[in-house]
C-alpha cells in the first residue's frame, strides 16, 4: 500500500459527535499556519460526507468505507508533503488501526474525549435528544458503538481543557516526534 515516507503528518481526531473534533481541528490548523505550515488540509467528516462519501449511511460497513476513503486521501496528500488533519467520529478501532497502517509513522491518533452528559447538555445539532428519544437509530454513543482508543497518541478533553490547551498538547506531541 505504500506508507508515507517524508516528515508530513496526519493528525486523526476521533471522538463522539459534538466532542469538539471540528473545533480542535480548526484551532490546530490556525496554530500550524501561524507556525508557517502552509501545506495543510483539513478533512472534516461533514465535508467528506457531502462529497467523497455522499450516499453513505451509518452502518458499520458504511462507516468503515468512509474511514477507509479518508485514510486513502490522507495518504495521497501526506506522501506529497501535505500535512493533514482528519476530524471524523471513526468509531471502530480496527478501521483506525488500518488507517495507521496505511499512513505509517506520521499518523497521530488523537482522542477528543467528552462525557455523554456534557454532550447531551451541549447537543449542538439536536441529535442526542432525538437518539435518546429513540428517534435516531445507529447514533454513536447512544444507539451505536464507539470504541474509544485505549492508547491514543494524544488524549484531549473538551470538558477539562480549553481549545488552546488541546491544540497545545497536539503541537507538543508533533514537536516531540520531530514533525514540527
Ligand atoms: N447515526 C449517526 N451517528 C453519528 N453521527 C451522525 C449520525 N447521523 C448523522 N450524523 C452526523 O454525521 C457526522 C459524523 O460523520 P462521520 O463521517 O464523522 O462518522 S463516521 O466516522 O463515519 O462514523 C456527525 O457529525 P459530528 O457531530 O461533526 O461528529 C453527525 O452530525
Ligand atoms: N474545550 C473545548 N474543545 C472543543 N470544543 C469545545 C470546547 N469547549 C466547548 N466546546 C464546544 O463544543 C462544541 C463541539 O462541536 P464540534 O467541534 O462541532 O464537535 P464535533 O466536530 O466533534 O462534532 C462546539 O460548540 C464548541 O464550541
Summarize pLDDT for 69-93 with one digit per residue, the tens.
999 999 999 999 999 999 999 999 9
Q: Whose CA is nearest to atom 30 of ligand 1?
A: 17
Nearest CA to ligand 1 atom 25: 17
- Written as nine digits, the cell of 34 is 501561524
Distance 159 CA to ligand 1 centre (A): 20
> Phi and psi for 130 in degrees, rounded to 5?
-65, -45
The annotation status of 6 as a binding-site residue, yes or no, is no
- Report CA(18)–ligand 1 centroid distance (Å): 9
Give me the phi and psi of 147, to 5 degrees please. -90, 95
pLDDT number for residue 6: 83
pLDDT at 101 over 70: yes
Pick the closest to residue 24 from 44, 53, 47, 10 (CA basis). 44
- Per residue in 134-160, pLDDT (tens digit) is 999 999 999 999 999 999 999 999 998
- Total domain count for the chain? 1
Q: Is residue 76 part of a domain?
A: yes
Note whether residue 153 is domain-resident: yes
Using left for φ > 0, alpha for ψ between -120 and 50, and beta otherwise, residue 65 falls in alpha
- With beta carbons less than 8 A apart as the criterion, state whether 156 and 113 touch: yes
Bridge partners (DSSP) listed for residue 85 = 11, 42
Q: List alpha helices for the chain, DSSP H.
A: 21-34, 45-50, 60-78, 93-103, 116-122, 127-132, 163-176
| Closest to 100 (Cα-Cα) out of 86, 80, 114 | 86
pTM over 0.90: yes
4 within domain boundaries: no
Domain that holds residue 22: 10-114+148-175
pLDDT beyond 90 at 5:
no
Specify if 138 maps to a domain.
Answer: no
CATH code (residue 171): 3.40.50.300
119 belongs to a structural domain: no
CA distance 24 to 121: 19
| Check: complex ipTM more than 0.90 | yes
Residues with CB under 6 A from ligand 1: 17-18, 22, 45-46, 49, 58, 63, 66-67, 88-91, 125, 138-140, 144
20 annotated to a ligand binding site = yes
List residues with catalytic annotation.
90
If you measure from the C-alpha of residue 90 to the centroid of ligand 1, how many angstroms do you get, rounded to a whole number?
9
14 within ligand 2 shell (Cβ under 6 A): no
Query: For residue 64, how far is its CA from the centre of ligand 2 (angstroms)?
Result: 24
Amino acid at each position: 500500500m505504500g506508507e508515507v515516507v517524508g516528515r508530513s503528518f496526519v493528525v486523526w481526531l476521533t471522538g463522539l459527535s459534538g466532542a469538539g473534533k471540528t473545533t480542535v481541528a480548526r484551532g490546530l490548523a490556525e496554530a500550524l499556519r501561524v507556525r508557517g505550515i502552509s501545506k495543510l488540509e483539513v478533512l472534516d467528516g461533514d465535508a467528506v460526507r457531502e462529497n467523497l462519501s455522499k450516499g453513505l449511511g451509518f452502518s458499520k460497513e458504511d462507516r468503515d468505507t468512509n474511514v477507509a476513503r479518508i485514510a486513502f486521501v490522507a495518504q495521497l496528500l501526506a506522501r506529497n508533503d501535505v500535512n493533514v488533519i482528519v476530524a471524523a467520529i471513526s468509531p471502530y478501532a480496527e478501521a483506525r488501526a488500518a488507517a495507521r497502517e496505511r499512513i505509517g509513522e506520521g499518523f497521530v491518533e488523537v482522542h477528543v474525549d467528552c462525557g455523554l452528559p456534557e454532550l447531551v447538555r451541549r447537543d449542538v445539532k439536536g441529535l442526542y435528544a432525538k437518539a435518546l428519544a429513540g428517534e435516531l437509530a445507529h447514533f454513536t454513543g447512544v444507539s451505536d458503538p464507539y470504541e474509544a482508543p485505549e492508547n491514543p497518541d494524544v488524549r484531549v478533553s473538551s470538558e477539562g481543557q480549553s481549545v488552546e490547551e488541546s491544540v497545545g498538547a497536539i503541537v507538543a506531541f508533533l514537536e516531540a516526534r520531530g514533525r514540527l
